[in-house]
Amino acid sequence: MDILGSIDNASLKSSEGKKTVCHIIVTSEKLIVVRVLDRHKEIIEHPAEGSNFGGGTRGSYFAAQMLQKQMIDDAYKRGKEIENNLDDYMKSNPEGLEMIPYDEITKAVLSKGTLFSLPGLKVFTNNSEFDFRLIHNNFEKSGKLDPETFNSYSDPLRKALGEKLEIK
């Protein structure tokens, strides 16, 4: 199984409303969705930061922004580490990932995002739907992916999914 590419910081909301940040590994056979960060748990476990940003609403905004950036960076590093050691991770932590074989995927939609909405990846299978919000840089450029990042996501998906992939 060859790795064609990956998508970092793909936020997935569970049926309970909890958000998990995933690293999606695009292989020659299937999408592998690795849960790398539980956003609710991470926010609770990180100490309040931002005391040097000043008080009030502005200080709180900058503290939240810094925490979000730190979580995005942490998720990226965790995802890349798992991707680089995928075989070992699959053996040692099978419950930490989900496999979506390409023959089960009926359609996938990748969107760049706009000034008012985050980019996303929706994957439709015969039995379910995965709706990922791509939060790679959601505090920069209103969340819209830059062309280099978008191409790093779309190229391996296009190679793996062919006509099943729709780009918006």
CA nearest neighbour of 160 among 26, 10, 1: 26
12-110-101 Cα angle (round to 5): 70
Cα(28)–Cα(22) distance, integer angstroms: 19
What was the pLDDT predicted at 58? Answer: 54
Q: What is the pLDDT of residues 76-91, one digit of tens each?
A: 999 999 999 999 999 9
Domain parsing of the chain, residue ranges: 3-167
Q: Are 119 and 134 in contact (CB under 8 A)?
A: yes
**What SS3 class is residue 77?**
helix
CA nearest neighbour of 30 among 107, 110, 98: 98
What was the pLDDT predicted at 141? Answer: 52
Q: Does domain 3-167 have CATH number 2.30.29.30?
A: yes
pLDDT < 50 positions in the chain: 40, 42-54
What was the pLDDT predicted at 49? Answer: 45
